[in-house]
Amino acid sequence: MNTTVTTHRLVIDAATLPGGDGKADLEVECCLWGPSNRPVVVLMGGISASRWAFDSVHGPGWWQDVMHDAGALSVLDHSFLTFEYVCWPDQPGAETPLITTADQARVLRKIQQQLDLPQFHAVIGASYGGMVSLAFAALFPQALARLVCIAAAHKNSVKTKAWRLIQRQIMQLGQRHAESPAAQAEFTALARALAMVGYRGELEWQERFASESAGRDVQAMASYLDHHGQRFAARFCARRYAQLSQSIDYHQVDVASIQADTLLIGFTSDQMVPTDQLQQLHQALRSRSRLHLINSIYGHDGFLLEAEALNCIFNTFFEEHNHDHIERNHRRASGY
């Protein structure tokens, strides 16, 4: 994406978040891609996503394949807001409070207000970001015009909670028994490897690793999982991983107050967010909404890999609203 980016480091009063009393204020880093006088679109990804959604000096953007110059949402017509999810800092001897998807939504609202941004043209969230997008739309229904929720629902299944519980227990073992930060990182890498098993669809695993040679598939999988686990652990500490993992487990949104025109997108092979959960969410919404299920082998990671299918759906959804870009952009965050 060929555009300028403005970075911001904002201070969020911890007392404005539940569980924040007595805690140090939180700093949140965010980026505004393009000028703020264009319709602003918020982009949020999974727990490992950063504010660098597009290619930059920091490396390839995590959503560059979907959000590019020829995509449905062009930088020529829009600005994009990205930010880092917040977590509570360590306080020795004190129990770390829960950070919720609603808290992340409140942080997003603070960003909108502090930067004096207009009503968001759209809030687009995928995976963890999809949960935050639902919480934002429910808490601040007038702060956005459109909601796009991908591979996320208003609550999570018991099975996925068990999956994440085991991941956190692996990291707890590392904290108790590993003698160095490097050794602890090995446990974080193992927890992430376990998570990776659930992110891809069954057919994709089969096509990627199936082998007629006994044991070769296991060797190939071990190498793949070790690579992704080690890469994650190199930039993600166990404390942050555990907080965001637990945040997912406690995610639950009453969607009755959502007013935004809503687009839900799911993937038929997604083990983390089964399609029946999205259908339940679709039925619970009172606002205008539509549900698209993409037939994909990539499972939950479809939000990263099904770029062409996503852009086709985005084209149809956003084409309906092209006429009101300028009108929406005159409403500032402070004017609600």
Asked about 228 being catalytic, the answer comes back as no
Asked about 270 being catalytic, the answer comes back as yes
Structure-block tokens of residue 102: 């609603």
Query: Order of strands across the sheet with 5-12?
Result: 5-12, 26-33, 79-83, 40-44, 122-126, 146-150, 261-267, 289-294
Tell me, what DSSP letter sits at residue 124?
E
The whole-angstrom separation of Cα 149 and Cα 155 is: 13
H or E element, residue 174: helix 158-177
The catalytic residue among 48, 103, 121, 127 is 127
DSSP string, 10-76: EEE-GGGSTT-TTSPPEEEEEEEES-TTSPEEEEE--TT--S--S-BTTBS-TTTTTSSTTSSS-TT
Asked about 90 being catalytic, the answer comes back as no
**What contacts 80, CB < 8 A, 6 or more positions away?**
32, 33, 34, 40, 41, 42, 43, 53, 54, 67, 73
The whole-angstrom separation of Cα 302 and Cα 315 is: 18
The catalytic residue among 270, 289, 296, 301 is 270
The catalytic residue among 78, 121, 154, 300 is 300
Structure-block tokens of residue 325: 């870009």
Q: What residues are labeled active site?
A: 127, 270, 300
